[in-house]
Amino acid sequence: MDKKEKMIKQAIKAHNVDVPILRTRLVGNRLEMYLYGGQVITYEQDTTNSGKTQQDDSPIDLMSMTLAQLRKMAKAQGIKGYSSMKKSVLVGLLAKG
């Protein structure tokens, strides 16, 4: 089991995650989990590790999500003007990360 998998399991346990995880991102010792419904959980590991920054995005089927769900994700990511964007534009922006 690699570092990311261990952190995901720890974060799920610590935050009682009971919805699907759409995307995860590991940056140093910080794990970001994007959950179904637009919620974002940031989990930081206590140990200091001087390793390289890692970023691994798993694929998401954004087109199957509703416009409301996409807007919640856009809001969580700090995308400006998301409330007036069409679904295709939001999908494009969210896919870029």
Question: Who contacts 14 (Cβ-Cβ below 8 Å, separation ≥6)?
Answer: 43
Q: Looking at the DSSP assignment, which residues form a beta bridge with residue 34?
A: 23, 40
The reported pLDDT for the residue numbered 47 is: 55
CA distance 97 to 57: 9
Q: Are the C-beta atoms of 34 and 16 separated by less than 8 Å?
A: no
The reported pLDDT for the residue numbered 81 is: 92
The reported pLDDT for the residue numbered 55 is: 37
Sign of CA dihedral 8, 10, 15, 18: positive
Put simply, whether the predicted model's pTM sits higher than 0.75 gets the answer: no
* DSSP state at residue 94: H
Top mean-pLDDT range of 25-29, 83-87, 93-97: 83-87
Going from N- to C-terminal start, the domains of the chain cover 1-58, 61-97
Q: Looking at the DSSP assignment, which residues form a beta bridge with residue 41?
A: 33
